[in-house]
Structure 1
C-alpha cells in the first residue's frame, strides 16, 4: 500500500482556518502574517471571459516572456513551484542530496520518497545546531565529498540567509565535476534580483525555480517556472503534461511580467516595508533577519510568542526545528498598528511568564 504520511506532515503558513478553529476567532478578524506573500499584490486586469471556456494554450508566448523577464534562455511554466519540486527527483541521477535543516519543507520529503539519501545542512548563522545536521554550508568550505546534489533556497525561507551569485556558482562548479546538480529555489528573489542566478540556468547541472506567488502577490494563481538547460526542460515538460497552468492564470501572469513600472515601484516599497518590519521586531527580539517580504526571529520562546499573538488575533508561522517565528508584512497602517500593539502586550506577558 502506498504510504502517504509525508503528504500530510509538512506544515505551511496560510493555515488561517486552523488558527480560527483553535482560538475561536472568526477568519475575518485576523491579521494574517503567516506567509511571505506581498499583501499589496499585482492589480489583476480583467480576464477575457473566453479564457474560461477554452483549454489553456501551452503554446502561447508566456514562457518566452518569462524567460526574457528572468534573463534565462528557456522557461517552463508549471502549476507553482510545488509541482516542480515533485518532479525534480525524476530528472536527477540518484545520489546523496543536501537540503537545509531550516528551509522550505517540501524538498526533503519529495527526495526521500524518491529514494534519495538526504543530508540536512545548516548555515553559518545557525551553526550552533550543527549536531542536528550533517554539514555546515559556508562559502569557502568544500561540500561533503559524497554529496551529489544540493538544494539551496536563496534568500532562504524562513531564515533569510542569502548567498551571492559568485558563491552559488562556485558550489555549482563543485557539483558539476561530480555530474551533480545544484537546485536553486528563488521564490523570494524577485524583490532582491541581484541575488539571482537565472541567467546561468542554461548550464548543465543547474536548475532554478521561480514563482509569481510571493513578490507579485499572486499565490492563488499557482504559477511557477523552471529555468534549466534544454534536456531538463524537455524532461520536465513531458512529466508536467498538458494544461497544467490555467488560461486565466496565464493571462494574469503575462500582464504582471510585462508591467516593469509596477515591478520597480514594488521593489522599492517592499524594501522599505521589510526594513520597517525588522526595526519593529528588533524592539522585542535579539535576533532578527529579514528580506523585503518577511522577517525571521529566532527565540526559544517561539511557542509562547505565537500563542500570545494569536490570542490577539495575529497569526504568525512558527518553526520548531530551529525555534523561531516568521512574520509577513501587514497590508496597511491599521495592520501595522495592530501588530505593534500585540507585540507590546505579548512582550509583557512573555517576560512576566504569563503566556
Structure 2
C-alpha cells in the first residue's frame, strides 16, 4: 500500500494522499473512521447508478457469442448511442469502427502497443514523442512510458503553440479534461488532428466525461486515420465496476486492436448490462438534466466557502487553493473524501469534488464539513 500515497513531488507524505480517487477503505483505516460513515466524493462517478436488473443464469454460464453482425449486439448499440446526439457525424462510421474493451483503461494500455506494432520498423518513430496535458489522468502517460516512449506535459492553452514549435508524434487529450474540466471544440481538435496526420502522428481523445454533452463528441469523425476516441460506461452510468468501455478509430486500426485483444475480452454479464443501459433513453435523458443541476449546486456551494471559481463537468468540480493539502486532510477528518491533485510544474495543487449521492443528508454532511474549515 505504501506506493499509493505520494506527495506532489513524489516523496512519501505524512498525510494521506492516494494517487487515484475511490480509496475509501484505505481512508477509513488511515483516519480511523468506519467506511459507512464517509461521504466519498473522490471519484467523479455518477452516484445515481443505472439500476441493475436481474441477470439471467445463462449469462453467467455461457461465454458471450460474437455479435458484431447483429443490430442488437453491444457494439452496434453503443455506436447508436454515441452517434445519436453527435453533430456532423460521418456517414461512413459503422460497426467496424468501434471495439468494446474491459473499461477504457484496457484501451489506454493497448494503444502504445498498437503504435509499437505499426511503427516498429521506423527508427524515427521507434521512441514516440508523446504529449499529454499537464495534471490530466495519469494512466495515459504511464502506459506510454512503460512501452518505452518519451512523455511530456503541456498546458491546455499551449497546444497550438506546441504543435508549431515541437515535434509531436502522439497528442493525448481528455475532453472534457479531468480534472480541470477544460473543453476543446470538435473543430479545434480536427485542426490539430490535421497537423498531426500530415506528420504521420496520432490524436487520442479520451471522452470519459462526454456523456452529458454528446453534441461535442468526436466519435462521428473517427474514420480519420490516426484519430482515436475512448469512451467509458463507468462514469456517466455509475458502473465503474462493470469494466466496460469502447475505443473508436478507423476501420484498419480497430481491426488491429480487436486482434490484439483476442476473444471474450469483455465478460458476458458486462455485455448484457451494457447493452441494456446504453438503450435506456429515459434514464439517460433524466440523468443528463439531474447531473447538470447537481453540478451547479456543487459549484455554488464550493464558491461560497472558498471564494474562488470552480471548473469542471457535470460529474465533478475542481478548484485550486494554496492550502489544498491541508483542506484535503481537514475534510477527511470529518469523513469527507475528495481527490487531492498534486501540483505540477504547470498547474498548482488543487481539489476535485465529485457529486454526493443526491440526498439532503449528504449535502448537509458536505456543507457542515466545509463550514468548519479554518483557512
TM-score, normalised on structure 1?
A: 0.89
Q: Distance in 2 between matches of 1:57 and 1:297?
A: 46
Out of 329, 334, 338, the position equivalent to 2:365 is 338
Q: Which residue does 2:253 correspond to in 1?
A: 232
Q: Which residue does 1:132 correspond to in 2?
A: none
Determine whether 1:34 maps to 2:42: yes
Q: Distance in 1 between matches of 2:191 and 2:167?
A: 17
Determine whether 1:323 maps to 2:349: yes
Determine whether 1:310 maps to 2:318: no
Q: Distance in 1 between matches of 2:37 and 2:65?
A: 40
Out of 197, 217, 237, the position equivalent to 1:216 is 237
- Pick closer, same or farther for the CA change 1:231–1:49 going to 2, 3 Å: same
Q: Distance in 1 between matches of 2:40 and 2:209?
A: 19
Q: Which residue does 1:255 correspond to in 2?
A: 276
Out of 143, 167, 187, the position equivalent to 2:188 is 167
Misfit runs of 4+, over 6 Å: none
Q: Which residue does 2:101 correspond to in 1?
A: 78
Shift of 1:142: 4.1
For the residue of structure 2 that corresponds to 1:191, the secondary structure is coil
Q: Distance in 2 between matches of 1:35 and 1:113?
A: 25
Shift of 1:213: 0.4
- Pick closer, same or farther for the CA change 1:141–1:90 going to 2, 3 Å: closer
For the residue of structure 1 that corresponds to 2:231, the secondary structure is strand
Shift of 1:21: 1.0
Structure 1: segments with no counterpart, 5+ residues:
125-135
Shift of 1:143: 4.3
Out of 323, 337, 344, the position equivalent to 1:301 is 323
Shift of 1:141: 7.0
For the residue of structure 2 that corresponds to 1:342, the secondary structure is helix
Q: Distance in 1 between matches of 2:80 and 2:178?
A: 26
For the residue of structure 1 that corresponds to 2:48, the secondary structure is coil
In the TM superposition, 1:35-50 aligns within 5 A as: 35-50=43-58
Shift of 1:55: 1.1
For the residue of structure 1 that corresponds to 2:229, the secondary structure is strand
Q: Conserved in 1, the CA contact under 8 Å of 2:103 and 2:246?
A: yes
**Which 10-residue stretch deviates more, 59-68 or 246-255?**
59-68
Q: Distance in 2 between matches of 1:204 and 1:328?
A: 35
Provide, for residues 66-119 of structure 1, a one-character-per-residue CA deviation record: whole Å limited to 9, x for no partner: 112112522100000110111111222432111111100101111111111112
Q: Distance in 1 between matches of 2:367 and 2:168?
A: 45
Structure 2: segments with no counterpart, 5+ residues:
11-17, 84-92, 120-124
Provide, for residues 131-174 of structure 1, a one-character-per-residue CA deviation record: whole Å limited to 9, x for no partner: xxxxx225x87444411110000000011111111111111111
Shift of 1:11: 1.7
Q: Which residue does 1:245 correspond to in 2?
A: 266
Q: Distance in 1 between matches of 2:319 and 2:278?
A: 32
Question: What CA RMSD, in Å, does the superposition of the two structures yield over aligned residues?
Answer: 1.8
Q: Which residue does 1:119 correspond to in 2?
A: 152
Provide, for residues 216-274 of structure 1, a one-character-per-residue CA deviation record: whole Å limited to 9, x for no partner: 11111000001001111111111111111111111110011111121111101111111
- Pick closer, same or farther for the CA change 1:236–1:209 going to 2, 3 Å: same
Q: Which residue does 2:61 correspond to in 1?
A: 53
Determine whether 1:20 maps to 2:9: no
Q: Conserved in 1, the CA contact under 8 Å of 2:82 and 2:214?
A: no
Q: Distance in 1 between matches of 2:178 and 2:66?
A: 30
Shift of 1:20: 0.6
In the TM superposition, 1:56-205 aligns within 5 A as: 56-59=64-67, 61-71=73-83, 72-73=93-94, 74-92=97-115, 93=119, 94=125, 95-124=128-157, 136-138=158-160, 142-205=163-226
